[in-house]
Structure 1
Amino acid sequence: MRKLNLIIKLIKKIIFLLLIFFCEVSISHEGHSHGPSVVTSASFDHLGTLWRVREQQGFIIVDSSNDQGLNFSKSINVNTELQKIGTSGDARPKIAIGPEGNIYVTWTQALSKPYTGYIWFARSKDRGKTFELPQIVHQDKSEITHRFDAINVNKDGRIFVAWVDK
């Protein structure tokens, strides 16, 4: 049984890496794009469900798979208002799953000045059926560099969100 659990964990890690490294990525700069944006972040919960988050036409969407990524559930919108969402490099949306099953999502809303943005956070307490109203995580709303967010949830359920604040 222990060997089977190790094999399952290895398969999950391989699928996760394949999702990250082989998804199509669009690189945008200077106000123009080179194709559709399909940047994705993913995480497994304690039940083995694969959760992914991505940007689609100005919205953050989350869906899940119970069969290791072969099929995904209907997508749920996290943000309710259209935003210009950062989707290149480290600006992609992020997802983390707490030990209690809560789903946490962060993303960067790109602002009008280059390299500026707001970092947003949203939480689902019902396994992704709904998300609470998203909130900006920083108090300073100046149009400055709030970018390159990272999120982690420890084994006690404590949420950590970090970002560059310049």
Structure 2
Amino acid sequence: MALIVGSHAVPAHDMRNMPGMPGMHAGASGEETCVDLSLKCASVATPFLDAHGKLWLAWSAGGAVSIASSVDGGRHFSDPIVVGRYGSRLDAGVEAHPQLAVDEKGRMVVAYSVFKDENWNARVWVATSADGRAFSAPHPISHDAASQRFPVLAFGRDGTLFAAWIDKRTVARASQHGLVQPGAAIAYAWSRDAGATFSGEAIGEDHTCECCRLDAAIDGAGHPVVLFRKIYGVDERDHAVLTFSQDHAPLPARRVAVDHWHIEGCPHHGPALAVSADGAWHAAWMTGGEARQGLFYARSTDEGRSFSAPQPVGDAERQAGRPSLLARGRSVWLAWKEFDGERILARVRHSSDGGRTWSPDRTIGTVQGYADRPLLVGDGERVYLSWLTREHGYRLIELDAS
């Protein structure tokens, strides 16, 4: 079973997280009653390991964004702090994880989006904390009247916070002049006080997909990089990277791969990005294009000016998708999700040479019913798979490089 969005089939195991689908918070029998704010009822969860090895987890459940910490690998959590309550207006779909960033001083920033109307127009809200014990009242990242969704956050080495999001202001302006502009744009801003205020807000790239999450990383020179699905021509939606100059000016976007995916709609499927210590950029994405179909990986060693030939990842027949990437030194990890018709699989592969070669694919876990996408997270020594499922709850699974 699949839901058709535009011309893209969304797998049945992802349907429960699509915004606006009535009852889609429910999974197998009995899950319909799980509507409180607790982690056990969460639809999506985002992990972060701080400099002391403490796990922080932000999640969406019961129309609220909450956060808690764990010092024993996710087996037990502190009493959760509710960052904001929004009911059915909270954007908690499969692509809309709350974003969590922590700097070297322990200052925390949480960002997420909340719908303003029935047309998927939203506003991105930000809450901050000096130490994770209490959070500020959420404030909007932008005061523009158009829509903002799918934020990403990244702290630079100098402590400056970079934020980017999908933004509809250029679409709104075109509509005011009687023009129809497909998709959306990428807006960005900077904060020098750990998210309390933002400045330099601008549009970095126009003509992007409107419902595919972004991913972001900091490159070897300390500049942010954003991986996104760009609209080429009328309806060709392939991935590109956007980066910035030393003075924070956006540089021309560069195409990751020419997939030629012509689709009159949004695939609801975002990419993954990581930058390794040697400066290589690592990208993973799903496509249904004329050139290739499925989940793919590529790397760039020249700051995004060119990428290697896309390598297939996982089993396309099992709907491989929802990728996550993590780079530590020359070690690169790639995780993703598959569905064999009955069970959802969390799969991983590992590279010890910066993405040149990869280990055989491994299944780390299988579940029935609802499962969030598996996310990679690490500290200075260890790498983990963070996975939220209705069957097993939340798990932080340590990975080895075998």
User: Contact 1:104/1:124 (CA < 8 Å) preserved in 2?
Assistant: yes
User: Contact 1:98/1:155 (CA < 8 Å) preserved in 2?
Assistant: no
Q: Under a length normalisation based on structure 1, what TM-score does the superposition of the two structures give?
A: 0.76
Listed one character per residue, the Cα deviations across residues 109-137 of structure 1 (whole Å, up to 9, x for unaligned) are 01213221000011110x21100111100
User: Contact 1:50/1:69 (CA < 8 Å) preserved in 2?
Assistant: yes
Work out the CA distance in 2 between the residues paired with 1:69 and 1:26.
Answer: 24
Q: 1:28 is matched with which residue: 18, 25, 35?
A: 18
Q: Kindly state the Cα deviation for residue 33 of structure 1 after the two structures are TM-superposed.
A: 3.0
Counterpart in the other structure of 2:137: 133
Q: Under a length normalisation based on structure 2, what TM-score does the superposition of the two structures give?
A: 0.33
Listed one character per residue, the Cα deviations across residues 86-109 of structure 1 (whole Å, up to 9, x for unaligned) are 111332211111110011100000
Q: 2:165 is matched with which residue: 139, 143, 163?
A: 163
Listed one character per residue, the Cα deviations across residues 63-106 of structure 1 (whole Å, up to 9, x for unaligned) are 01111111111100112x53521111332211111110011100
3-state secondary structure, aligned to 2:17: coil
Q: Kindly state the Cα deviation for residue 44 of structure 1 after the two structures are TM-superposed.
A: 0.7
Q: Kindly state the Cα deviation for residue 31 of structure 1 after the two structures are TM-superposed.
A: 4.2
Query: Larger % of helix: which?
Result: 1
Identity of aligned residues (%): 25
Partner amino acid for 2:106?
Answer: G
Q: 2:57 is matched with which residue: 30, 52, 59?
A: 52
3-state secondary structure, aligned to 1:148: strand
Answering whether residue 107 of structure 2 is matched by residue 92 of structure 1, we say no
Deviates more, 1:98-107 or 1:151-160: 151-160
C-alpha distance 71-165 of structure 1, shift in aligned 2 (>3 A): same
Q: Kindly state the Cα deviation for residue 29 of structure 1 after the two structures are TM-superposed.
A: 4.4
Aligned residues: 139
Q: Kindly state the Cα deviation for residue 25 of structure 1 after the two structures are TM-superposed.
A: 8.6
Work out the CA distance in 2 between the residues paired with 1:77 and 1:27.
Answer: 21
Work out the CA distance in 2 between the residues paired with 1:25 and 1:70.
Answer: 28
Counterpart in the other structure of 2:148: 146
Q: 1:113 is matched with which residue: 118, 121, 143?
A: 118
Q: Kindly state the Cα deviation for residue 47 of structure 1 after the two structures are TM-superposed.
A: 0.5
User: Contact 1:92/1:108 (CA < 8 Å) preserved in 2?
Assistant: no
Structure with max Cα Rg: 2
Q: 2:106 is matched with which residue: 83, 98, 101?
A: 101
C-alpha distance 162-69 of structure 1, shift in aligned 2 (>3 A): same
Listed one character per residue, the Cα deviations across residues 29-76 of structure 1 (whole Å, up to 9, x for unaligned) are 444132165200111111110101012222210001111111111100
User: Contact 2:19/2:93 (CA < 8 Å) preserved in 1?
Assistant: no
Higher RCO, 1 or 2 (CA under 8 Å, sep at least 6)? 1
Work out the CA distance in 2 between the residues paired with 1:94 and 1:65.
Answer: 18
Partner amino acid for 1:33?
Answer: G
Work out the CA distance in 1 between the residues paired with 2:120 and 2:86.
Answer: 19
User: Contact 2:19/2:91 (CA < 8 Å) preserved in 1?
Assistant: no
Q: Structure 2 stretches of 5 or more lacking a match? A: 1-13, 27-33, 35-41, 169-402
Structure 1 residue runs of 4 or more that deviate by more than 2 Å after TM superposition: 28-31
Deviates more, 1:97-106 or 1:155-164: 155-164
User: Contact 1:121/1:134 (CA < 8 Å) preserved in 2?
Assistant: yes
Work out the CA distance in 2 between the residues paired with 1:25 and 1:40.
Answer: 17
3-state secondary structure, aligned to 1:155: coil
Query: Larger % of strand: which?
Result: 2
3-state secondary structure, aligned to 2:95: helix
C-alpha distance 161-28 of structure 1, shift in aligned 2 (>3 A): same
3-state secondary structure, aligned to 1:90: coil
